[in-house]
Amino acid sequence: MIATTAAEHRPSIPRPFRVLDRRQETHDVVTLAVAPVGGVLPPFRPAQFSMIGIVGLGDVPISISSASAHEHRYTLRRAGAVTDALAERSVGDIISVRGPFGRPWDLERARGRHALFVAGGIGLAPLRAAIEHLTATDTTAAGVTVLVGARSPDDLLFSTWLRDLAGRHCAVGFAVDADPGGEWNGAVGPVTRLIESAVGATGRRPVTAYVCGPDVMMAATIAELERCGIARQHVQLTLERNMQCANGWCGHCQLGPVLVCRDGPVVDASALGDALEVSEL
On whether residue 3 sits in a domain, the answer given is no
Mean pLDDT of the chain: 86
Residues 6+ apart with CB under 8 A from 181: none
2 inside domain: no
- Per-residue confidence (pLDDT) for residue 4, from 0 to 100: 43
For residue range 75-100, list pLDDT tens digits in order: 999 989 999 999 999 999 999 999 89
Mean pLDDT over 265-271 rounds to 87
Is there a single domain that holds both residue 124 and residue 246?
Answer: yes
What pLDDT does residue 199 have?
93
Please, which pLDDT band fits residue 195 given cuts at 50, 70 and 90? very high
Helical (H) or strand (E) element with 209: strand 207-212
Same domain for 70 and 90, yes or no, is: yes
Contact 116, 211 (CB under 8 A): no
The lowest-confidence range among 101-105, 180-184, 273-277 is 273-277
How many C-alpha atoms does 66 have within 13 Å on its Cβ side?
21
| Beta-carbon count within 10 A of 96 CB | 18
| Same-domain check for residues 228 and 132 | yes
Q: Give the CA dihedral 47, 214, 32, 131, nearest 10 degrees.
A: 40
Residue 65 DSSP code: -
Nearest to 208 by CA among 110, 76, 105, 137: 110
Place 276 in a pLDDT band, splitting at 50, 70 and 90.
Answer: low
Dist CA 42 CA 6 (whole Å):
6
Spatial separation of the C-alpha atoms in residues 90 and 83, rounded to whole Å: 14
- Residue 280 pLDDT > 60, yes or no? no
**Number of compact structural domains in the chain:** 2
CA–CA distance, 182 with 175 (Å, rounded to integer): 15
Q: By mean pLDDT, which of 6-20, 90-104, 171-185, 244-258 is the weakest?
A: 244-258
Q: How far, in Å, CA of 143 to CA of 137, rounded?
A: 13
Domain match, 91 and 169 both: no
